Amino acid sequence: GTQVTVEIHREDTSPQLIKRLSLGKGSQRLRGHDNKGFQRTEAPRPPGAKDLHAYPWDKSSLKSMPVDLQQLKKLDAYALKVNVKNSVEELVKALLKQARTDLEKVRAIWMWICHHIEYDVVGYHNKSQLSSKPKDVLQMGKSICEGYAELFEHMCSLAGIQCKKLSGHAKGHGYKTGQTFTGDSDHAWNAVYLEGRWHLLDSTWGSGSVDDSFTKFTYRYNEFYFLTHPALFINNHFPDNSNWQLLKPTLTLKEFENNMLHNSNFYTLGLLAAHPETPIIQTVNGKASVSVDCRTGTLFMFKLKGTDEHGLMTLKKYGMMLDIYPQKTGSHKLEIFAKPSKAEASDDDYKCVLEYVVECESVDKAVRFPKDLHQPVGPSWFSERQGFLQPSHREPVLHTNDGRCSLTFTLGKDISVLTSLHTDGSSLAEDMGRRHVLQIHRGNQIELKVHLPHAGSFVLKIYSKKKSDPGNYDYIFNYLIRCLNTEVKWPAFPQSYSKWLQDYEILEPLSGLLPANRNVQFKLKMHGVAKVLVQAENIHPLTQNRGCWEGSCNTSGCREVFVMVHENANHSFYSHVLKYEVETQ
């Protein structure tokens, strides 16, 4: 039953519709110049049905109306440079010189306040001495939330824009997860009337932040709190008058208290939702799980009581999943951090996006992760981007009963791979950790064969670099490999030297430890060599047969066996390519 008027104009003519909806223009009908040449604004009307937004958030936009930030850049820069401190009237006049629409007027006022008024940490502790009158706030250049909101309201009314100061409870500085709110309101913010609807903003939180001890304010502009979507604003602002939630349905104080606090970083980074949706999580059999949904590749990390040792985090295309296993009972703080994937360089780009309290009643001692395990675990869009495509194992954990496993990937162009196996304790030195993983290349496929030296939990780390780069290998990702079978005891693969080329392949013997006093069969896939010899106590030449070099050698009387190649029939020298050990008797 609603009538909608749609007007279509050529691009270069300005639409009438906007003008008709914009109340700032309409208010010029009031010609009473009682305010030093400023027009009076109409008394703000209370919020009605057309101001309301659906709750929960529909994941569409972070703001309650379309705002083109690129288009506002010039105005923003102008507003920052305005330097008028003698009176609020003069300041507003100067700011409005470059502002045409009501949105632009509000924007200029917002930008100026966020960058010129600082939070008064001293005044906060001694409120009796504090004035929040607009002219005093301007003179001092600092205030608490009350003063920000009153200055904003006054400047808007001078600019002919309806604006209202709102007060209520906020999950701001000093908020503790799960706390209740009682007594008087503790924060103030504003509603402004633009294009026929009420919108919310908080210039105190837009201007910066206060440190933990509440002694130092830092200017740090935050776009999020300008015309914030009401379904997101309610996350940390609960107005005394529930009509000013601008939501349908409205939330109760209890719901506000119990709701998960997502700070502005959560939404600014494009995250959409987190599960569970309550801030306090109980472990079940020693385990708790958290997941985050987001739009595109985002990198995550977590800290449980300040460390990421007791969890398993996997990156998904649209978010992440985390299982944690606290190793002590009691309450633990769990923090989740995120950063856009473009900022791969440094860890300090990670911003805290979520905080949970994990209540742990019993500990699962069986789940201990090796110290070398690096989060996230398993393959992901990130390892794909680095050229490890179509992984045979998409899960982060591999379980093996016989102590052997094999993984395959399709490799991107020009990639050289390095792998190593790690476990807690001193059973596996670094050089041996490399030799328990064998790389087999077939075209653009790589197979990683892993033979575990004993039962336990192991980390398979995978590094890569461009073949054309002379530099070091970069760490890409890792897997957790678990084996419970205590009978397992695989020797390392043979040691290979630089002349052993990437696409050569050992068919047998795969074990780097040969039995003593035995005839051992050799079968090696190698190309581009003239002769292949096995040197034990005696020298045994191998013969070429359909692309493989085959033959046998006897291991009696020697501790080591080498495979050597003659790269050119006319040369007299050999290169070592493989080395095997022989069991002592």
The amino acid at residue 479 is Y
Judge residue 310's burial from the number of C-beta atoms within 10 Å of its C-beta, 0-12 exposed, 13-18 middle, 19 or more buried.
Answer: buried
Region of 511 please: left (phi>0), alpha (psi -120 to 50) or beta.
Answer: beta
Distance CA 498, CA 463 (A): 18
Q: Which residues of 494-529 are buried (b: 16+ CB within 10 A; e: fewer)?
A: bbbeeebeeebbbeebebbebeeeeebebbbebeeb
The amino acid at residue 444 is N
On whether the CB atoms of residues 108 and 117 are closer than 8 A, the answer is no
Distance CA 17, CA 348 (A): 47
Q: Is 441 a catalytic residue?
A: no
**What values do phi and psi take at 463, rounded to 5?**
-120, 160
Among 343, 286, 274, 284, which residue's Cα sits nearest to residue 310? 286
Among 478, 458, 447, 475, which residue's Cα sits nearest to residue 315? 478
Distance CA 275, CA 265 (A): 17
Distance CA 495, CA 518 (A): 20
| Pair type for strands 445-451 and 437-442 | antiparallel
Q: Is 145 a catalytic residue?
A: yes
DSSP letters spanning 431-457: HHHHHTEEEEEETTEEEEEEE-SSSEE
Distance CA 90, CA 109 (A): 12
Catalytic residue among 114, 145, 163, 405: 145
For 123, the enclosing helix (H) or strand (E) is: helix 121-125
Catalytic residue among 154, 187, 199, 451: 187
Catalytic residue among 202, 229, 360, 436: 202
| Pair type for strands 330-340 and 404-411 | unpaired
User: What is the SS3 assignment for 130?
Assistant: coil
Give how far Cα 459 sits from Cα of 225, 316, 434, Å: 44, 20, 12
| Pair type for strands 319-324 and 311-316 | antiparallel
**What values do phi and psi take at 112, rounded to 5?**
-65, -50
Q: Is 483 a catalytic residue?
A: no
Among 18, 19, 42, which residue's Cα sits nearest to residue 30? 42
**What values do phi and psi take at 224, rounded to 5?**
-55, -35
On whether the CB atoms of residues 436 and 452 are closer than 8 A, the answer is yes
Among 296, 445, 308, which residue's Cα sits nearest to residue 380? 296
Within 13 Å and on the Cβ side, how many CA atoms surround 120?
23
| Tokens linked to 97 | 């010189």
The residues carrying an active-site annotation are 145, 187, 202
